[in-house]
Structure 1
Amino acid sequence: MLENLARTVFSELKNAIPSQVTDLPERELRAALEGVLHKLNLVSREEFDAQQAVLMRTRAKVEALEKQLAELEKLAEQQ
């Protein structure tokens, strides 16, 4: 992900900077980009997907427990 982003940013910078500047410091740009992204506290797509799956399972369990509780409350009211 970082490689693709760095490549895209580098390419866009090359297009935006006048053609007289031909030697952009790619290594320094990549290091600066990594530093900025690290400060943003981003997560990988894999970690996001894993957490999303956990959340979906948890939500399903909560919904099932809410339904079970509602049924138990209904039974308690009838008695």
Structure 2
Amino acid sequence: MIDPKKIEQLARQVHESMPKGIREFGDDVEKRIRQTLQSQLTRLDLVNREEFDVQTQVLLRTREKLSALEQRIAELESRGTATTPASASVSAPVTAPAAAPVTAPAESAKKEDL
């Protein structure tokens, strides 16, 4: 495997061996590329690593709380159905008795006239 320090040293030697004009041109291009990249990256909706890690921890805590609440709800529901079996019949819908058909007033008036 190639040692990264040797690659860096070789790149520095190549850079120093270049004529001054080309070296300055290369530095200028590098600066412009950095500026362009920075301006484009700031336009994106990105977060830094620290903020990402903080939000990850918040999400983990939220998931733990949600899991605990779901478990507690399940326990309460199981206790509620075990202690009150009659509650199932109470919650059944109540139906009203069938009502006699209502006739329209015009129809009842006609029947009286006859």
TM over 0.5: same fold?
A: yes
Using CA pairs under 8 Å that are at least 6 residues apart, name the structure with larger relative contact order, 1 or 2: 1
Residue of structure 2 equivalent to 1:76: 80
* Structure-2 separation of matches of 1:34 and 1:74: 57
| Runs of 4+ deviating beyond 2 Å | 21-24
Q: Pick from 20, 36, 40 the counterpart of residue 40 of structure 2.
A: 36
Residue of structure 1 equivalent to 2:54: 50
The structure in which a higher percent of residues are helix is 1
Unaligned runs of 5+ in 2: 1-21, 84-114
Aligned pairs, how many?
Answer: 59
Q: Give the TM-score taking structure 2 as reference length.
A: 0.48
* Structure-2 separation of matches of 1:27 and 1:63: 50
Q: Give the TM-score taking structure 1 as reference length.
A: 0.68
Unaligned runs of 5+ in 1: 1-20
Residue of structure 1 equivalent to 2:31: 27
* Structure-2 separation of matches of 1:72 and 1:29: 61
After superposition, give the CA deviation of every residue in 1:7-33 in whole Å (9 maximum; x if it has no partner): xxxxxxxxxxxxxx7523222111100
Shift of 1:44: 0.6
Shift of 1:35: 1.1
